Amino acid sequence: MFNNQTILITGGTGSFGKQFTRMLLDRYNPKRIIIFSRDELKQHDMRMAFNNDERLRFFIGDLRDRERVYRAFSTEIDLVVHAAALKQVPACEYNPYEAVKTNVIGGQNVIDAAIDCGIPKVIALSTDKAVNPINLYGATKLCAEKLFIQGNSYAGRKDTRFSCVRYGNVVGSRGSVVPVFRTQRETGVVTVTDERMTRFWITLEQAVEFVFNAAQVMVGGETFIPRLPSMGIMDLVKVIAPDCDVQFTGIRPGEKLHEILISEDEARHTVELKDMLVILPEYPWWDKRHQETSAYKGGTPLAEGTCYASNTNDWWLTQDELRQMVGE
């Protein structure tokens, strides 16, 4: 579906945006890829990294600027991948208004512009921190998920469709603990907040692959969740810094011991497919749409009381698998 298509990526100069662009160009022949972001230096660096590929367009803009978002969306676009966000938990806790402006108001601008400009498909990236959130970042992403799913109702009779993708911590992305541990091991001491901590783990390549799949099968209204392995933080320490001392600092404000990808309440309307779980919306407009597609009729409903959490997961990474994933 990506051949001869125009795809716009918000936050396109970020870790995900660059990997998405690379894999898109390697596998398909898109007509145009529009990189929407607010940092001209990162756009310049990305342009050089991609050897001035003529299929790339770099559009400077901020999601908070409604008029600029409309201008970016005014060209003929087939798919929007909404990856832009303020996502550093401590920064969002300290600057809550800024997080709301970007993650919530910016998301609303994307929804309105997509509907008014007639863009067929929009995929919004979310996070496990949106489930039972205890920090502001997670709360803004939960709010954004609700906006994008209900955006299908606002679209009315128009053809614009919105879906979300929710996954865990990305190995090696900006803000990941992996580069932190690599820097700290030079000092002989690494810091860990709590030795009991567990996380879902996914590589950038896997995240992009999953978004590719979701964009192709989406009907509009789903939240797609990949099957992911869990890892223990102390196993990661043993892989990256096995000879270092560990200093325990205590859980930071807004930090969880374990992450959840699907809550018990969401499990009641979730189906399991071969390689993913799909949360189906509980709105009247979905009933009619679901009757028109057989995409999820073969899915297995999750058992009552299921909670897809990193500490109760049935798939755990060994140290050797972790070593391979982080490139140690």
pLDDT at residue number 328 = 80
Cβ neighbors of 180 (< 8 A, separation 6 or more) are none
How far from 278 is each of 73, 100, 161, 226, 300, CA to CA, in Å?
Answer: 28, 27, 16, 9, 10
Structure tokens at 7: 């795809």
pLDDT at residue number 290 = 66
One-letter identity of residue 251: I
Beta carbons of 86 and 38 less than 8 angstroms apart: no
Residue 297 has pLDDT above 90, yes or no: no
Model pLDDT for residues 61-119, shown as the tens digit of each residue: 999 999 999 999 999 999 999 999 999 888 999 999 999 999 999 999 999 999 999 99
pLDDT at residue number 22 = 97
Q: What is the phi/psi pair of residue 147, to 5°?
A: -65, -45
Exposed (0-12), middle (13-18) or buried (19+): which is 321, by Cβ within 10 Å?
middle
Average pLDDT over residues 141-169: 95
Model pLDDT for residues 246-286, shown as the tens digit of each residue: 999 998 888 899 999 999 999 999 999 988 999 999 888 88
Q: Where do the domains of the chain lie, and which CATH numbers do they carry?
A: 6-169+202-228+260-309 (3.40.50.720)
Residues classed as catalytic: 129
pLDDT at residue number 90 = 86
Quote the CA–CA distance of 240 and 327 in Å, as a whole number: 9
One-letter identity of residue 184: Q
Quote the CA–CA distance of 145 and 126 in Å, as a whole number: 7
Residue 306: count other Cβ atoms within 10 Å of its Cβ: 18
How far from 3 is each of 27, 118, 258, CA to CA, in Å?
Answer: 9, 20, 40
pTM for the model: 0.94
